[in-house]
Amino acid sequence: MPHVITEPGAVDTEWLTGVLRRCRAGWAGHVTAVEVEAERSLPYSRTARLKIRYSEPPPGPLPKHLFLKLSPVPSDGEKPPENGSEIDFYRTAASEMNAPPLARCYDAEFSAQLGSSHLLLEDLSASHFQTQQAKHPSPLHSELAVKCLAQFHAHWWEHPKIGKEIGKVFDKRWLDSFLIDLEVSVVKFLEFHGDSLSTEQRHAYDLMLRSSRPIWGRLTDAAGLTVTHGDTHWWNFFHANDPGIEETRIIDWQLWHIDQGPRDLAFLIALGGFAERRPEMEAHLIDTYYKTLIECGVRNYSRVDFWQDYRRSAIRNLNIPVIFWSQGKHPTTWQGALERAFQSYNELKCCELL
């Protein structure tokens, strides 16, 4: 059975010494103490900041602090969470990239039998910050976040390992099943909310369902696909205190998958993630993203094709409030997503694509 850390206090000096020796070839010292400085319980994880002491000053950049991310503790009678996806990300995609744009991962383990996982990551708390939840970052940090996202997408753009060693490219069987589920969930959403939805909104959902195969069917063709985050709200970016020294990082990869890069961008900007939309910044951030893709080596992707992919991704945002509602999220969450999704749908004239 894999060795999975289930409590912050279970990180012992012998185990951590072995982990760091694997990451720092030639280091013969050892860890003498591990102190849990802070713990936090979140809806989908538990985290802790660890302070590390060594037998002697480490040669080179061994960490003085580490960030530990653990599975949440299930309630009585609750099924253990299926949380192996983020572990898989750090073992596959992240292992082939530098940090930044990711936080460096020292160890990642998952036990399907226990339904438990741990991630031991670089601690960024001294050099980076997160925006407050539901708050949009400054124009500068927004631009740097979008550049960071584009750089990540460009790295994996049409990469030969996509769908083989990294992630899965969806096939026709998946598409057929997804479209059936999509129609069922949207119809339930429309029936439940009845006249509380406007005629315009109901018509847009009808058009989306009629055009669902060409919109989502794009995911069955590996051309132009990349590794995507799947949950790109502003809270999932760590912004550097000093952008001249450090770079923006992207965290929380539980929902990563193979998709179109503009899908992440449209969730972040057109929908606003979980923050208010900033339409006055949208054109600049879209331009920043596309220019960064090209600067990072993406070829055979015209601005026209990119713009169409972005607008189609904004259409896909209409399904986000349906998902939130079906998951039982608070009405303010799915209602806010519904309002923002339709704002961008209208502003981008998405109906022209349906």
As a whole number of angstroms, the distance between CA 232 and CA 229 comes to 6
Q: Do the two domains 8-122 and 128-353 of this chain adopt the same fold?
A: no
Confidence at residue 83, expressed as pLDDT on a 0 to 100 scale: 55
Domain ranges for the chain: 8-122, 128-353
CATH-assigned architecture of domain 128-353: Alpha-Beta Complex (3.90)
Correct CATH for 8-122 of 3.30.200.20, 3.30.2130.30, 2.40.160.20, 3.40.50.150: 3.30.200.20
Top-confidence residue, 77 or 6: 6
Q: Evaluate whether 138 touches 281 at the Cβ level (below 8 Å).
A: no
Top-confidence residue, 308 or 132: 308
Q: In whole angstroms, how far apart are CA 77 and each of 73, 74, 80, 252?
A: 11, 8, 9, 26
Q: 311-337, pLDDT tens digit by residue? A: 999 999 999 999 999 999 999 999 999
As a whole number of angstroms, the distance between CA 354 and CA 350 comes to 7
List Cβ<8 Å contacts ≥24 apart for 302-307.
Answer: 305/224, 306/262
Going by pLDDT thresholds of 50, 70 and 90, the confidence category of residue 58 is: low
- The token pair at 284 is 């600049």
105-111 and 225-228 beta bridge pairing? unpaired
Q: What is the secondary structure of 160-216 as a DSSP string?
A: TTBTTTBS----HHHHHHHHHHHHHHHHHHHHHHGGGS-HHHHHHHHHHHHTHHHHH
Q: Is the pLDDT of residue 220 over 60?
A: yes
As a whole number of angstroms, the distance between CA 236 and CA 40 comes to 17
- The token pair at 65 is 């602090």
Which segment of 24-38, 51-65, 148-162, 326-340 scores lowest on mean pLDDT? 51-65
Q: Is the pLDDT of residue 81 over 60?
A: no
Evaluate the omega torsion of the peptide bond into residue 43 and state whether it is cis, within 30 degrees of 0: no
Confidence at residue 114, expressed as pLDDT on a 0 to 100 scale: 79
Q: Which residues contact 81 (CB under 8 A, 6 or more apart)?
A: 44, 71, 72, 74, 115
Q: Evaluate whether 179 touches 212 at the Cβ level (below 8 Å).
A: yes
Top-confidence residue, 84 or 268: 268
Q: 154-181, pLDDT tens digit by residue? A: 999 999 999 999 999 999 999 999 999 9
Model-level pTM?
A: 0.93
Q: 8-24, pLDDT tens digit by residue? A: 999 999 999 999 998 88
